[in-house]
Amino acid sequence: MVGRLDDEELLRRCRAGDQDGYAELFRRYRDRAYRLAYVITGDPGLSEDVTQEAFIQAFRRLENVRPGSPFGPWFFAIVAHCARRQGRARRTPWLALPAAESLSDTRAADALDAVESEVWRAVQDLPVDLRVLVALRYVLDLTEAEAAHVLRLPLGTVKSRLHRARRLLRQALDPLVKEADPAWTTSTR
């Protein structure tokens, strides 16, 4: 029933305290929020934290969504903010349980091939602000204008940051890609 409603109607129900409305809104955006958080934080556990916190923040501030405005960009801005905060904090040295320490960091990398793993590492080495943009652009497939809207940045800033992110990624990946395809750099630059 609620699955057929549009976001605006769901928001109205949520504001009235309808648990089904919350649940449906959660189901619609959970996976995208988690994927966005995962690429920004690079850690499944942190992504879980970010997704949970973002939904809680969003659900508590639903009255801030302007009538007629889409829920998605507003919500992804919250996810990006939470993830960026986690992304910055992740250099904190943790006291970690030895048996569990290495699992989350290696689980994803194991399932990727060599090139994908290098791409993943290169993206994770980007400064967090660039990583946020890369995640919005390549994981959520937002346009530059949409990403600018989500982050409330001027379009020019988004373009220049994406350009810088691509340049850093190319620098990091060039040796690997050249090895796989010598014609790569001439055909893509």
Partner 1 sequence: MDDFDALIRAALHRAADQAQPPDDLLPRVLASLPPPRRRAARRAAVVAGLSLATLLPLVRPAVVGLTQSAGAAQEAPPRPGAAQLAGAPPRTPPENAAVRAAVPPPVLRFSGPPGVLPPAARAALAHAGAPWRIPRWLPPDRPVRVTLAGTPPAAVLAIALEGRSGRPVVIQERLRAGSTSGAAPEPSAAQVPETLRGRPPLLETWTPATVTYRFRTGRLAITVSGPADARDLVRRVVAGLVP
Shortest Å distance, C-beta 65 to partner 1: 14
For residue 162, give the 3-state DSSP assignment. Answer: helix
Q: Which is nearer to partner 1, 14 or 152 (CB)?
A: 14
| Inter-CA distances, 18 with 10, 22, 151, Å | 9, 7, 29
Q: Which is nearer to partner 1, 27 or 154 (CB)?
A: 27
Q: How many CA atoms lie within 13 A of 103 on its CB side?
A: 7
Q: Which is nearer to partner 1, 85 or 152 (CB)?
A: 85
Q: Which is nearer to partner 1, 8 or 18 (CB)?
A: 18
Residues 42, 124 contacting (CB under 8 angstroms) = yes
DSSP per-residue string spanning 119-147: HHHHHHHS-HHHHHHHIIIIIS---HHHH
Residues found near partner 1 in the complex (CB under 8 A): 16-17, 19, 22-23, 26-27, 30-31, 34-35, 38-39, 44-49, 51-53, 55-56, 59-60, 63, 92, 94-101, 103-104, 107-108, 111-112, 115-116, 119-120, 123, 134-135, 138-139, 141, 166, 169-170, 173, 177, 184, 187-188
Shortest Å distance, C-beta 66 to partner 1: 16
Shortest Å distance, C-beta 31 to partner 1: 7
Shortest Å distance, C-beta 10 to partner 1: 14
Q: Which is nearer to partner 1, 61 or 154 (CB)?
A: 61
Shortest Å distance, C-beta 43 to partner 1: 9
Q: Which is nearer to partner 1, 7 or 152 (CB)?
A: 7
H or E element, residue 157:
helix 155-180
What is the CA angle 31-34-37, rounded to 5?
Answer: 150
Question: N- to C-terminal Cα distance for the chain?
Answer: 50
Shortest Å distance, C-beta 119 to partner 1: 4
| Inter-CA distances, 73 with 52, 68, 93, Å | 17, 13, 33
